[in-house]
Amino acid sequence: MRHLILPFLLTLCFYIESIFVDFLPTGIFGRDWILVPHFLLVLLIIMGISFFRNRTLIYAAVFGLLFDIYFTEIIGIYLVLFPIAVYISAKLAKILFSNVFTALFTSMLCISLVETIVYGMNILVLRKSMDINEFSMIRLVPTLILNIIFFIIVYFPFNKFLLNRKKEEINE
């Protein structure tokens, strides 16, 4: 039963992202910001740093495919980007001293990378029209602020859960 808690948390986060977008009113802060919750990606990045990297890469690929099927018009982009983000964050955590600040930094770096690549693919493939300054101010910065808030809320309890889970699996 304990083995199902982690996939359940990731699935719950996957659905919370879509609910969050549906219930967040547009222009909530007096601006037409585009807030993109990457709650699932934040959890996957924390997992990549604190848990078993290879297992996290599998979770990232599976949920990336589900994300593509459920949300996007370009199938395969999140299937590739989620594992890349997890891999980059896991490698950076090994190079840098792993703590809450480096985890936050790598999370925001990876979210910025994912958002920028998705922006580029939307420009190239779907012919969406948004210049880079507009993307930065209307979408990227508000998205990073939202995900920083989420990271601060979930990091300590989720990291503690992952470390306990890792100890249990090593002892088994």
Joined together, the tokens standing for residue 164 give: 């306990």
d(CA 130, CA 147): 22
Domain borders along the chain are: 2-171
Report the predicted TM-score, pTM, of the whole model to 2 decimal places: 0.91
Which string of DSSP letters, residue by residue, matches 15-73? HHHHHHHHHSPTTTTSS-------HHHHHHHHHHHHS-HHHHHHHHHHHHHHHHHHH-S
50-103 tens-digit pLDDT: 888 899 999 999 999 999 998 887 788 999 999 999 999 999 988 887 789 999
